[in-house]
Amino acid sequence: MGKKNVNRSRKYLYRSGLHCPREKALLSDLESIPGLSASYIPVASVAHSKRRKLFIIINSIMEHLTKKTFLDKVFNFEINKEWKFKGKLPCIIDFYADWCGPCKMVAPVLEDLSKEYSGKVNIYKVDTEAEQELAAAFGIRSIPSILFVPMEGQPQMAMGALPKDSLKQAITNVLNVN
């Protein structure tokens, strides 16, 4: 009986990737949170244990900023006229739109860089369709527009779909991060 159940479990695991509907629902809920990616690692259950174990790994990839979170985390342009960065790490802000083809090409590159520079650089995204006031405050007229914000000094804007090498060079030269 035990062997038959194990085989059935394995088939279900291979077919669905997760053990039960609750685990699938949890993973789905986590993946629906903007800026998070979740992945699963099934762990073999302990001998004679009927309880299965599943670790969910959550990777903060990129945070989507609203006007409120931008004012809190980056720069409060409603109060300050002079640039004063509020962040703890230098950041890159990608101004994008869901319908924009070049923006879709830049997104996976920025995701890779967010993993590569995790703990060194924050990478944010601003949806220009949803956050029109924020886009207007920075004079965004073409997308993608990428704002590089160093810890000290003035931010620098780049327009267009930059290749990964150019983004890495800007991280080194503008943000002073190795």
Residue ranges of the domains in the chain? Answer: 2-60, 63-173
Q: What is the pLDDT of residues 93-147, one digit of tens each?
A: 999 999 999 999 999 999 999 999 989 999 999 999 999 999 999 999 999 999 9
Residue-level pLDDT at 13? 34
Judge whether 91 counts as a catalytic residue.
Answer: no
Q: Which residue has the higher pLDDT, 95 or 10?
A: 95
Identify the active-site residue in 18, 65, 91, 103: 103
DSSP 8-state class, residue 67: H
Distance CA 37, CA 105 (A): 18
Mention the CATH class of domain 63-173. Answer: alpha beta
Residue-level pLDDT at 47? 42
**pLDDT at 23 > cutoff 90:** no
Spell out the residues 6+ positions from residue 15 whose beta carbon is closer than 8 angstroms to its own.
none
Judge whether 103 counts as a catalytic residue.
Answer: yes
